[in-house]
Structure 1
Amino acid sequence: MSWMAWTLPTAIFFAVIACLLIAFTLLAIRYPETPRSGILGIETTRGDRLFITLLGSAFINLIWLGFEIGPQPYALLVCLVYAAAVFRWV
């Protein structure tokens, strides 16, 4: 993989995403769920909520960078609050 110019943060990011996908797959096998309807009015499963969380977190980080709101690690805190809200109410 030397052709990709991996950095440690990039490798950690993709490793975390891979671990999340594996964990959610194992959860779906071990504890099957029925879709539920939240504030969006659409039926979602754990995987759907994970996708919504990842997509929203990407936009939060882009906005954080674009408007130079503050140090980037604080965006992680905002993303964690957002993720908790998505998994609770969506």
Structure 2
Amino acid sequence: MEWMAWTWPTAIFFAIIAATLVTFTVLAIKFPETPRNGVLGIETTRGDRLFITLLGSAFINLAWLGLFSAPQWGALIVCFFYTIAVFRWV
């Protein structure tokens, strides 16, 4: 798979995403959840909030790359607080 230019950071990223999906699957089986209404006014489950978090984090990272010349670690910190907010209030 040399043509894909796999690097260790890329492999770690996809491994973390896969581990997160497995963890959420196990949680859904062991602790079924009923949907709840948050600030968006729609019913969301853990999986919905995970999807919203991943999508929003991608946009945060893209905006960080386009607007700031600061290291990407700053975007990671913003994404961490964004994740907490989504799982708490959405």
Global fold match (TM > 0.5): yes
Runs of 4+ off more than 6 Å: none
* Residue equivalent to 2:57: 57
Q: C-alpha displacement at 1:87, in angstroms?
A: 0.1
Among all aligned residue pairs of Structure 1 and Structure 2, give the percentage whose two residues are the same amino acid.
Answer: 73
How many residues align? The count is 90
Larger deviation, residues 56-65 vs 3-12: 3-12
Q: C-alpha displacement at 1:69, in angstroms?
A: 5.0
SS in 1 for 2:17: helix
* Residue equivalent to 2:6: 6
Q: C-alpha displacement at 1:45, in angstroms?
A: 0.2
* Residue equivalent to 1:70: 70
The normalised TM-score by structure 2 is 0.96
* Residue equivalent to 1:17: 17
Root-mean-square deviation (CA, aligned residues, Å) is: 0.9
Unaligned runs of 5+ residues in structure 1 are none
- Cα deviation digits, residues 33-75 of structure 1 (max 9, x gap): 0000000000000000000000000000000000125211111
SS in 2 for 1:53: helix
* Residue equivalent to 1:79: 79
Q: Distance in 2 between matches of 1:53 and 1:40?
A: 14
* Residue equivalent to 2:48: 48
SS in 2 for 1:9: helix
- Cα deviation digits, residues 3-51 of structure 1 (max 9, x gap): 3221011000000000000000000000000000000000000000000
Q: Distance in 1 between matches of 2:85 and 2:19?
A: 21
* Residue equivalent to 1:29: 29
Q: Distance in 2 between matches of 1:69 and 1:81?
A: 21
Q: Distance in 2 between matches of 1:75 and 1:33?
A: 30
